[in-house]
Copies of this chain bind each other. A is one copy, B any other.
């Protein structure tokens, strides 16, 4: 049985939940008390020395880092469409895994954590970085349906969760119609599970 150390509001965890569901893989969610700091405890650091979630356990294999877990699941359980092996095609997927781990982690993620969870981030800087990223992505998606190929790959799965909830960081998605269409497309894939939305902190 596959086990996923997980917390519900995390987009990093959700990308793994989404691929598990798309691939139809039975799994057990192990809730980690993220706000209580369980992931930073010595006990949890024995599972992941970096003190972060998600962590995937599949039999004797323990893996940290959401992008790496997507690579593992795609290679082990998916067909080659999720992570193509041809050099250029694989590198094009990797480019967007890097965006998921860098530009999205430094823009949409902290904007949302500041607004929804009251964390101390530079909200204006995170919102500005989000708009910079969304501008590039919207242009990229102008003449294509998926980020890295002519079909969905783990690049789309990796980038989707924090972009689906970027309005929670008070970043308006209206100017980015291609990004909105791409989000809808991912949520329409067979067996897709949408990123859970948080209740608004103030009335609309």
Q: Which residues of A contact B (CB under 8 A)?
A: 49-50, 61, 63-65, 67-69, 71-72, 75-76, 85-88, 90-92, 94-95, 97-99, 101-103, 105, 136, 139-140
CA gap between A90 and B98 in the complex, in Å: 16
Given contacts A102-B102, A105-B102, contact A75 B50 (CB under 8 A): no
Across-interface contacts of A71 in B (CB, < 8 A): 87, 90-91, 94
Across-interface contacts of A95 in B (CB, < 8 A): 63-65, 68
Describe A's contact surface by its main secondary structure. helix
A124 to chain B, nearest CB (A): 16
A143 to chain B, nearest CB (A): 14
A-B contact pairs, 18 of them (CB 8 A): A49-B136, A50-B99, A50-B136, A61-B88, A63-B88, A64-B95, A65-B95, A68-B91, A68-B98, A71-B87, A71-B90, A72-B91, A72-B94, A75-B87, A75-B91, A85-B85, A98-B101, A102-B105
Within 8 Å by CB of A94, from B65, B86, B103, B136, lies B65
The number of times this chain is found in the oligomer is 2
Across-interface contacts of A76 in B (CB, < 8 A): 87-88
A3 to chain B, nearest CB (A): 16
Given contacts A65-B98, A101-B98, contact A139 B49 (CB under 8 A): yes
- The answer on a CB contact under 8 Å between A91 and B105 is no
- The answer on a CB contact under 8 Å between B85 and A72 is no
Across-interface contacts of A91 in B (CB, < 8 A): 63, 68-69, 71-72, 75
Across-interface contacts of A68 in B (CB, < 8 A): 91-92, 94-95, 98
CA gap between A191 and B182 in the complex, in Å: 44
Across-interface contacts of A50 in B (CB, < 8 A): 99, 103, 136
6 smallest CB-CB distances across A and B, nearest first, come from A72-B91, A75-B87, A76-B87, A68-B94, A68-B95, A65-B98
